[in-house]
Amino acid sequence: MSKAFLKYVLCSFLIFPLWWLSCVPTFKLVEGNRYRDPAGYFEFLYPKGNWTLLSHKNVALVLWNPQQKATIVVNVTPLDRDLDLYNLTRHLLIAFEHKRIISQDTVGLNGRASLKTVIVAWAEETQVKAEAYVVKRDGVVYDILFWSPLEVFPYNVELFHQFLTGIRFLHPKEPY
């Protein structure tokens, strides 16, 4: 075995983990269990339970609970024009198949008006129930989406509501 090959293998084992870690969003620990997103749009309390922080292109935050098969997604998008909450919600829910709206109401979330939508739909060949909140603030739209399999939704939605009580919308320091 040549020295060049050994150097290549050694560098691969050292560089790959560093590269992989750079793909995961870096949330700044503010205090206790409170984190801030890298661009400064929001803070959140890390939920209790077995939640894993995942990375996904063009999404600010993805939390996955493999035991409960539950997902929380927060996305932040600067608005270049004023769209109403109903159109923004329709766009947010486009990835779900065979969706049926259970309820849709304007509610307060962290001092802001938001459109709360509850649906039953299909995602990745599983029937799910989802709860979505769309909030506008200072030219930015916040999409907060939660879903889990239909049969475990009542338990999981309580975990999501705890997450919602801990989210704070901030004034961004830099654009996404």
- Distance between CA atoms of 151 and 162, rounded to whole angstroms? 20
Residue 9 lies in a domain: no
Alpha carbon distance 160, 47 (integer Å): 8
4 falls within a domain: no
Q: pLDDT value at position 172?
A: 65
What CATH number is given to the structural domain containing 146?
3.40.1000.10
Indicate the pTM of the whole model. 0.81
Whether residue 98 lies inside any domain: the answer is yes
Q: Is residue 175 part of a domain?
A: no
For residue 68, what are its two tokens? 């409960």
Instruction: Report the C-alpha gap between 59 and 140 in whole angstroms.
Output: 14
Q: How many helices (H) and strands (E) does the chain have?
A: 3, 11
Question: Of 54, 78, 31, 34, which is closest to residue 168 (Cα–Cα)?
Answer: 34
Please count the structural domains in the chain.
Answer: 1
Cβ-contact 36, 170 below 8 angstroms: yes
Q: For residue 1, is it within any domain?
A: no
| The residue to which tokens 């654009």 are assigned | 175
Half-sphere exposure of 101 (CA within 13 A, CB side): 12
* 4-43 residue pLDDT tens: 433 343 333 333 333 333 445 577 787 888 998 888 899 9
Give me the domain span that covers residue 120: 27-169
| 5: in domain | no
Element (H, E) at 16: helix 3-23
pLDDT in tens, the chain (176 residues): 444 433 343 333 333 333 333 445 577 787 888 998 888 899 999 988 889 988 777 788 999 999 989 999 999 988 878 889 999 999 999 999 999 999 999 999 988 889 999 999 999 899 999 999 999 888 889 999 999 999 999 989 998 999 999 999 987 654 44
